[in-house]
Amino acid sequence: MFAAIMATVSLVIDVSAQQSALFEPPKDRQLLVIGQDMGAIGGFPKPNNDGYVDHIDIKPGGVTTYTGLTKLGGLKTLVNLYSGDTWAQAIIDNPIYANSVLVIGLHMVDQEKSAANGELDAQIKMLGEWIKQTKRPVFLRIGYEFDGTWNHYDPESYKAAYKRLVTKFRELQVTNCVTVWQASTSPVNGKQADIGKWYPGDEYVDWIGYSWFLSSANQIKLTDGLLAFAREHKKPVMVCESAPQGYDNARLTQRNIYKGIDPKEKTPEKIWKEWYAPFFNYIEKNKDVIRIVAYINVNWDSQMLWGWPYLHGYWGDSRVEVNPDIKKLWLETISDKKWMNSSPTLFQDLGFPAQSDRGT
């Protein structure tokens, strides 16, 4: 996306020969990201002080947050849309996340036509300028889950909006941001459309992303198709959203994902075997292209948007820290040297300039 710009800026980024895209982890390594709200990631004043980093000593290599293009809510100020607090600037200002990349989901539902025709250029500029001042790698998921029936994106308007945002960012020289084109790969999405009709083009897309919630045969089939598309277009892949939908790690149950009924008791080992093991096995099997993994570590059932009466399906509780056995298995997994977590050298390992080169 930014190849032409990167050749002209004064900063020289030493990207490893093993890397084929901006901010791609070195060969045989993968970056771990945790999301998706302040309560889920933790490390903030009450009530957001009981999340991932408050219970897991290994700090994540990245964190996820969200904003919408029209109002940019949750960027510079705190916003809660009944699904947890979001506030990107608070993440940037928090020393706990000083060595974590930022992944932003950019909501554009019913905004793509306005963005495409230039009506939201001021917001695009504001977003770009804010990203520049973060002085860290930022992954921007533009109109995430573009093919989800719940988002009803018009393909032509979506592509035009995507291209316009990229073009404006290039003009602003937002060189610390890469774009992510994220499909839903959802087994509950109804008839699967050709994702290619939403594709803005290789010159506008840096990374390709997907969601994984069910660890089912159909989930694997859909994701296989997405990975084939990514390999064809020579793009690295990010697991943008993932969680064991229907499972409750605190109550050790699994319920119907549509209505939250028919609870079945599960042991921690059974939950791990049914969802986590297939999830990580798939990532390992496709490590040539899957380079970043974002996990949603949240008590969905406690949030108004996702809780009873489950108008958006039943999600459960995906926090890995709430059960000691699941936490142990999780720590054993992410402690493997292949996983890139927070560290003083993380940004440099991703090909980003050292702090002394970035300025203050």
pLDDT 10s digits, 305-353: 999 999 999 999 999 999 999 999 999 999 999 999 999 999 999 999 7
Predicted confidence (pLDDT) at residue 283 exceeds the cutoff of 50 = yes
Q: What integer pLDDT is reported at residue 192 of this predicted model?
A: 66
Q: Give the pLDDT confidence score for residue 189 in this predicted structure.
A: 79
Q: What is the pLDDT, as a whole number, of residue 101?
A: 98
| pLDDT band of 20, cuts 50, 70, 90 | low
Tokens at 311, concatenated: 């108008």
354: pLDDT strictly greater than 90: no
Pairing of strands 79-80, 177-182: unpaired
What contacts 121, CB < 8 A, 6 or more positions away?
A: 164, 168
Segment 103-130 mean pLDDT: 97
**Cα–Cα distance for residue pair 174/169, rounded to 1 Å:** 5
The pLDDT of residue 15 is above 90: no
Q: Domain 3-355 belongs to what topology?
A: TIM Barrel (3.20.20)
Interval 32-42 mean pLDDT: 98
For the chain, the domains span: 3-355
- In the chain, which ranges are continuous DSSP H helix? 3-6, 38-41, 52-55, 88-93, 112-116, 121-133, 155-172, 217-232, 268-271, 277-285, 324-334, 346-349, 355-358
- Bigger pLDDT: 12 vs 264: 264
Of 71-80, 190-199, 233-242, give the lowest mean pLDDT range: 190-199
pLDDT greater than 80 at residue 191? no
Higher per-residue pLDDT: 190 or 221: 221
pLDDT higher than threshold 50 for residue 19: no
Annotated catalytic residues are 145, 241
Q: What is the pLDDT of residue 16?
A: 35
pLDDT band at 248 (very low <50, low <70, confident <90, very high): very high
Least confident segment among 151-160, 182-191, 253-262: 182-191
Say yes or no to pLDDT of 18 above 60. Answer: no
pTM passes above 0.85: yes
Q: From CA 219, how far away is CA 211, in angstroms rounded? A: 9
Q: Are 284 and 339 in contact (CB under 8 A)?
A: no
Residues above pLDDT 90, as percent of the chain? 89
pLDDT given at position 13: 34
Q: Which residues contact 134 (CB under 8 A, 6 or more apart)?
A: 92, 102, 176
What tens digit of pLDDT does each residue of 57-98 get?
A: 999 999 999 999 999 999 999 999 999 999 999 999 999 999
The pLDDT value recorded for residue 4 is 34
Does position 1 have pLDDT exceeding 80, yes or no?
no
